[in-house]
Homo-oligomer: A and B are copies of this chain.
Amino acid sequence: MPRWEPDSRGRLEEAALALYGERGFENTTVAEIAERAGVTERTFFRHFADKREVLFGGAATLEEALTQAVADAPGSAPPIDAVAAALVAVGALLQERHDAARQRHAVIAANADLRERELIKLASLSSTLADALRQRGVASPAATLTAEAGIAVFKVAYERWVDASNRRDLSHLIRASLDELKAVTAGR
């Protein structure tokens, strides 16, 4: 029986994360990633525009999932609860990919350009979230503030989650961070 092998996209991702971790993002070539994944460079470029996209290609899926979850929240839910529900739902999706997320986080932390790219991705997530709230009829400054607050909560929870010493689920950490944000903004 052949052992189970992930699809080429998954194999390329695994190979890339391993190589970025071993020799650094900037010292890894697409040829090396393809070789380790056992596919051609052509196959790499069918899945990713470049080696950076291996790290950021999931952003669109994340944005769609967030938008959908905000739209699905009960109509009566206050904006912050709609955002919390969306983040917890996304957190549950990401939970399955905990090991890859940790590897990815270490690669990004080690490279200034990648850290900037990650910030830009989070800002884009925040705009997406604000748009989704406006679709629910939330007024403009409140929509932006709620979305920014939600992304701050997500960021803090995510950083705890990828920390090796942490054992909690991302969804749990998102709820905990939201409670802390509520406490700090209330002046406690």
Interface residues of A (CB under 8 A from B): 78-81, 116, 119-120, 123, 141-142, 144-146, 148-149, 152-153, 155-156, 160, 177, 180-188
* Chain B residues with CB under 8 A of A144: 152, 155-156
Of B80, B146, B184, the residue contacting A79 (CB under 8 A) is B184
Does B148 lie within 8 Å of A155, measured CB to CB? yes
- Which of chain B's residues has its CB closest to A126's CB? B152
The 8 Å CB contact of A185, one of B119, B120, B155, B181, is B181
Decide: A181 and B145 in contact? CB cutoff 8 A: yes
Q: Report B-chain residues with C-beta under 8 Å of the C-beta of A186.
A: 182, 185-186
Is the CB–CB distance between B184 and A146 below 8 Å? yes
Rank and list the top 6 A-B pairs by shortest CB-CB distance, nearest first: A148-B152, A78-B187, A185-B185, A146-B184, A145-B181, A119-B123
A184 and B79 alpha carbons, distance in the complex (Å):
7
By a CB distance below 8 angstroms, the chain B residues around A116 are: 116, 120
Q: Which residues of chain B are near A188, meaning CB under 8 Å? A: 78
Q: Check if B148 sits within 8 Å of A185, measured CB to CB.
A: no
Once the chains bind, are B152 and A149 in contact (CB under 8 Å)? yes
Which one of A81, A146, A184, A186 has the greatest number of beta carbons of chain B within 10 Å?
Answer: A184
Q: Is A141 in contact with B160, judged by CB distance below 8 angstroms?
A: yes
Q: From A133, which residue of chain B is reached at the shortest CB distance?
A: B184
Some 11 contacts from A to B, beta carbons below 8 A apart, are: A80-B185, A119-B120, A141-B156, A141-B177, A144-B152, A145-B177, A145-B181, A148-B149, A148-B152, A149-B184, A182-B186
